[in-house]
Structure 1
């Protein structure tokens, strides 16, 4: 199978990130099982990601960073955040994370040290086949605020769905199942602010295990 230049670069970046995760796991003397548990994956699914064979979703990277005690920027770039007082990231700039169903995340403050939130500009491409499938749900402890910049989306929160458009704002408990898709035949874009708290333990289906804290 032949890959384009962009595809090869993305595969190389994925392998570099996977190598950092493995190295940090070993440095922290954590087992595959412990990391699988922390990321809500089976040991086999986790190993496929740590080896670079499987795609690395934003939620997976976010949970790895939390468990390993590092900033997500360090996982992505190998460089620790160092800006203390304020950060300006110009339009069209930021740390790119292209993961999960081709969503493209652009982190808008990757090198601000000690930040209490994770701000992203997220491009959500329209996909016709997703209009006829259940929306993929993600889980990460904390809250998330999403402001729709352009396009229209269907937001799924557990069993409830809402259609939203430009200027609409969503704030929700991100520890519960949530997901979005672009609708109406056009790409969409949101500004998302993730406000993390301590993770609850997850089962292999990536759902919170009730009663475990």
Structure 2
């Protein structure tokens, strides 16, 4: 995991340097906190997925290139069979599977996300990223907080929100929660 974190940070740094943009200018352009961004790019702290989506868009590359180090190639469709999307572990409480990892120039990033059962015992971890997000619960119960509003979602429930607002989620009931997340 630490190796992957360092590799992603190195790819982002190289893109920024190739384009000749300073850390400060990129942070200002994307609305990130300078200290937080520096900890991401140094590999000290993992990039949030939403921030990687923004960075990929800024540099005109697919998220796949930043995370996996290989370009996406498919332009007509990308079929992802059950349990075969690449796993992206960004934070220990969640596991993400990229559902369109190999589609070139996506308009959004679809993920299957598992909130681990033990998230219920931990404080709610909030994050922000530019754009919007759509989450649809498939299994389990999920507590989600968006801009200070907490709500409980069950299978079939969904929420669409401005992901610039502080948001976070955790599984409830001692079981994992599985949901689709579309980051736009």
- Aligned with residue 178 of structure 1, among 167, 176, 182: 167
SS in 2 for 1:116: coil
Offset at residue 169 of structure 1 (A): 1.7
Q: Deviations over 1:127-172 (max 9, x none)?
A: 2442xx355142321x322111111111112121111111112222
1:144 corresponds to which of 129, 133, 154:
133
SS at match of 2:91: coil
Q: Displacement, 1:121?
A: 0.3
TM-score by length of 2: 0.89
Unmatched tracts of structure 2, length 5 or more:
none
Moved over 3 A (4+): none
1:80 aligns with: 71
Please name the residue that 2:150 is paired with: 161
Name the CA shift for 1:34/1:11 in 2 (closer, same or farther; >3 Å): same
Unaligned runs of 5+ in 1: 1-9, 197-213
Contact 2:142 2:169 in 1 (8 A): yes
TM-score (norm 1): 0.78
**Alignment pair present for 1:116 and 2:113:** no
Partner of 1:13: 4
Structure 1 residues 171, 35: CA separation in 2 closer, same or farther (over 3 Å shift)? same
Structure 1 residues 34, 80: closer, same or farther in 2, change over 3 A? Answer: same
